[in-house]
Structure 1
Amino acid sequence: MIWAFIALLAGGILKGATGAGAPIIAVPVIALLYDVPFAIVMFSFPNLLSNLWQGWQYRDHQMGEGFTWRFAVAGAIGAGLGTVILANVPSDLLVALVAMSVFVYIGFRLARPDWFLPFSLARRIVWPVGTLAGMMQGAGGVSAPVSITFLNAMKPERAAFVGTVSVFFVAMAAIQIPLLAWYGFLDWHRLGLSLLALLPILGGMPIGAALAKRLSKQVFDRLILTLLALVALRLLIEVTL
């Protein structure tokens, strides 16, 4: 469990530094140590509660014109579909999905760091993008390759980004958690573990906020991407052995 604790702490550090992204570290590491369903369950309540808190803090900074709520509802629909996939797809395929999602995220971050998506276009594609991101969250526990990339591409202010992505994650968790219980992934024991997992995330967030002030954004991003690449590579090795 010590490595799971470290992964959650690292996820909290990333969330504190950037406002989002904790699952992109924590879920692959926990999936490597246990399996994808356990990783998703472990992160379910930290995801819900930390984003409820952030969403309330940034409630006045959400992206306007109904964009935030359309994105959130689409994500919730996708998370429901993704959880059904989680319950019916072999574990090795789910591990491979998580690993490939991480590699896609890394590749896009490196290849198109300055890509800009006009808000007018983002509004037109928010439903399919949100649904796809939700499906990835439900099935693999990692929506960042779609959700974070999509929002970052619009170059919002940090407050608008955090306010919007927090509502998105809360909406997904509100659908995902009951379905995890319905399919038998979430029981009382795992509920307790998931609530305990909130502690290292909350502990890491102030560290991330402090690091963000001391390290350049480029250096911090490269460190995170290197770590993610190593984790994703290890996941793929695990699947192929």
Structure 2
Amino acid sequence: MIFEVMLVVLCLALGGMLKGATGAGAPVLAVPALAAFFDVQTAVVLLLLPNLFANGWQLWLYRRELPENRFLLPFVAAGIAGVSLGTWMLTALRSETLSVGVSIVVILYIAFRLARPHWKLSMPAGIRLATPAGFLSGILQGASGISAPVSLTFLNALQLGRPTFIATVSLLFMLFVAVQIPALAWAGLITVKLGLMSLAAVVPIFLAMPLGGMLARRLSPAVFDRLILGFLGLLAVKLLFDALG
């Protein structure tokens, strides 16, 4: 039991390091890791409060760096609509199905990052794609707790400056959580015990975020990115093995 708790804390801390280093992405690492020890539903619930507080704090820090409304509003609005559908999928599908889904999502994310590392989008194209990209991001967030395969890849492709990138993803993810909390509570997936565990999960993530920022300044972005992708790959394989074994 103590060993499992230590592993969970380590997974949360690694997620916090990733967020501190990149400004986003803690669920990309933490959800597959937590799902490997619990299940997808529990992993999503445990990340609710850490995501809410971390993204709220980052949004406050970078609130003046938000992009223009003709891009931001459809992206965020469509994302909120997608979360509602994805949350229903989370409550309706079997845990094994969701585990396989998370594994496939992570593998596709890794494959795309490796195959198209320099893919770019212009802002006019980004404005046209903001609604479908936001909607797909919301579905993934609601169903698996991970929207990065769409949201982060899409925003990275626009080559937004770091402050604008952080402000945008922080607003998006904070609103995602704000929609998920009442939906999951209504569905009976949030218990007092899980709520307290989610609150406790805030601590390792917040403590690790400054360390992630320090590592990002010392390691080259390419090296750090490959380390994270490799760890994600191992987690995806473990999830598939557990779900299909």
Q: Does 1:82 align with 2:93?
A: no
- Give the gaps of 5 or more residues in structure 2: none
Q: TM-score, normalised by structure 1?
A: 0.98
Mapped to 1, the partners of 2:111 and 2:188 lie a distance apart of 35
Letter in 2 for 1:171: L
Q: Does 1:4 align with 2:8?
A: yes
1:62-211 correspondence to structure 2 within 5 Å: 62-211=66-215
Secondary structure in structure 2 of the residue aligned to 1:186: coil
Are the equivalent residues in 2 in contact too, given 1:119–1:154 (CA < 8 A)? yes
| 4+ long deviations beyond 2 Å | none
Which residue does the alignment assign to 1:213? 217
Q: Does 1:22 align with 2:26?
A: yes
Are the equivalent residues in 2 in contact too, given 1:76–1:174 (CA < 8 A)? no
Secondary structure in structure 2 of the residue aligned to 1:114: coil
Are the equivalent residues in 2 in contact too, given 1:40–1:141 (CA < 8 A)? yes
Mapped to 2, the partners of 1:133 and 1:93 lie a distance apart of 19
1:56 to 60, 72, 75: 60
Residue 62 (structure 1) shift: 1.0
Deviates more, 1:207-216 or 1:62-71: 62-71
Mapped to 1, the partners of 2:171 and 2:151 lie a distance apart of 12
Question: C-alpha offsets along residues 185-213 of structure 1, whole Å, 9 cap, x if unaligned?
Answer: 10111111101101111011000000011
Which residue does the alignment assign to 2:47? 43
Residue 150 (structure 1) shift: 0.4
Secondary structure in structure 2 of the residue aligned to 1:219: helix
Deviates more, 1:70-79 or 1:152-161: 70-79
Are the equivalent residues in 2 in contact too, given 1:73–1:171 (CA < 8 A)? no
Residue 71 (structure 1) shift: 1.6
Question: C-alpha offsets along residues 162-203 of structure 1, whole Å, 9 cap, x if unaligned?
Answer: 000000001111110101101111011111110110111101
- Give the gaps of 5 or more residues in structure 1: none
Question: C-alpha offsets along residues 141-176 of structure 1, whole Å, 9 cap, x if unaligned?
Answer: 111000000000001110000000000001111110
Letter in 2 for 1:136: L
Residue 65 (structure 1) shift: 3.3
Are the equivalent residues in 2 in contact too, given 1:61–1:160 (CA < 8 A)? yes
Identity %: 46
Q: RMSD over aligned Cα, in angstroms? A: 0.8
Mapped to 1, the partners of 2:77 and 2:53 lie a distance apart of 18
Secondary structure in structure 2 of the residue aligned to 1:197: helix
Question: C-alpha offsets along residues 93-112 of structure 1, whole Å, 9 cap, x if unaligned?
Answer: 10011111111111111111
Mapped to 1, the partners of 2:129 and 2:172 lie a distance apart of 15
Are the equivalent residues in 2 in contact too, given 1:70–1:126 (CA < 8 A)? yes
Residue 68 (structure 1) shift: 2.1
Letter in 2 for 1:109: R
Mapped to 1, the partners of 2:166 and 2:73 lie a distance apart of 14
Residue 45 (structure 1) shift: 1.0
Residue 66 (structure 1) shift: 3.3
Letter in 2 for 1:230: L
